[in-house]
Amino acid sequence: MVGRPNTGKSTLVNALVHEKISIVTSKPQTTRHSILGILTEPDMQIVFVDTPGLHTGSGRLINRAMNRSASASMAGADLALFVTDATGWTRADDHALMRLREAGIPAFLVVNKLDLLKRREDLLPVLGDFSSRGDFVEVIPISARQGTNLERLLDTIRKRIPAGPRLFPPDVKTDRSMEFRIGEVLREKMLSLLHQEVPYGLAVEILAIEQRPDLVLVDAVVWVERESHQGIVVGRGGERIKKIGTLARKDLEEIFARRFYLTVRVNVKENWGDNARALRQLGYEEST
């Protein structure tokens, strides 16, 4: 999955593998890591790679790490799905398409968010305009959120991908650990509840997980870049961080079919998004 931020790549992966693999919010750059979503069928296994949105803002180490992660994922792929937003082409789409051309792999143009088009007759001009901008082997309009045209997209992918051995057991939906997914769900809830610049200075570190027969105990710390943000995330009397933990717990219990108990604290790690050592500690392997 390739494209600029906020075109619905994560929503699409989740819809195709029928499980919440990647977190989803309305904010750009929600996805920070490349994440595998695995669809296993009786005679086929398709591995989707959800990548961070390719963007031009590369001043900070974390932004450069996200761009490198997306580019590295393209290098090993058999097929790219270039995901765009039907409501308009932007300069950021041009930048992402340039990076895709550099990878030199065949690509589908996937025009997402059909449900946001005001008039049905607007679709054909959009498809004509978007498809003329690149050398795409297929052009497929979809709505990932509503499930529109996803079976057609899958059928076309099935015909295009090369034969090879299955890479994962049939019951595996992602390569990411429980620890990683817990941290991402917590970050999703913070992105949804917080506004302005605060969410982009947040990171989650899982300090410990204890899996009991009837309960999963989680000890987590949220890192913020400024002391002023600590109080915003915690909220008055701890109300906001408590709400974040409650919402995350409900999602995790649905994903894993287990009971969860979360302990979440908020600490300051100044300017962690520009600190190579801090980024490595927080799981950004491509940060150097």
Type of residue at 242: K
pLDDT at res. 72: 67
The answer to whether residue 30 is domain-embedded is: yes
The answer to whether residue 47 is domain-embedded is: yes
The answer to whether residue 216 is domain-embedded is: yes
In this structure, the answer to whether residues 148 and 207 fall within a common structural domain is: no
Average pLDDT over residues 1-5: 90
Please identify which residue in the block is written with the tokens 């015909």. Answer: 159
- Gyration radius (Cα) of the chain, Å: 19
In this structure, the answer to whether residues 67 and 147 fall within a common structural domain is: yes
Q: Which residue among 127, 160, 193 closes a domain?
A: 160
Q: What share of the chain is helix, strand, coil (3-state, %, to 5)?
A: 40, 20, 35
Residue 277 in this model has a pLDDT that exceeds 80:
no
CATH at residue 231: 3.30.300.20
Range in 52-56, 106-110, 170-174 the model is least confident about: 52-56
In this structure, the answer to whether residues 142 and 219 fall within a common structural domain is: no
pLDDT at res. 58: 56
Residue 66 in this model has a pLDDT that exceeds 90:
no
Confidence of residue 200 (pLDDT cuts 50, 70, 90): low
Reported as a single tens digit per residue, the pLDDT across 136-175 is 999 999 999 999 999 999 999 999 998 888 999 999 999 9
In this structure, the answer to whether residues 92 and 210 fall within a common structural domain is: no
Q: Give DSSP secondary structure letters for 1-63.
A: -B-STTSSHHHHHHHHHTS--S---SSTT---S-EEEEEEETTEEEEEEE-PPP-S--SSHHH
pTM: 0.87
The answer to whether residue 256 is domain-embedded is: yes
The answer to whether residue 65 is domain-embedded is: yes
| Measured distance CA(37)–CA(154) in Å, rounded | 14
Strands 80-85 and 202-211: unpaired
Average pLDDT over residues 78-102: 93
Residue 268 per-residue DSSP state: E
Residue 162 per-residue DSSP state: P
Note whether 48 and 13 are within 8 A (CB). Answer: yes
The answer to whether residue 172 is domain-embedded is: no
Facing residues of 210 across strands?
A: 217
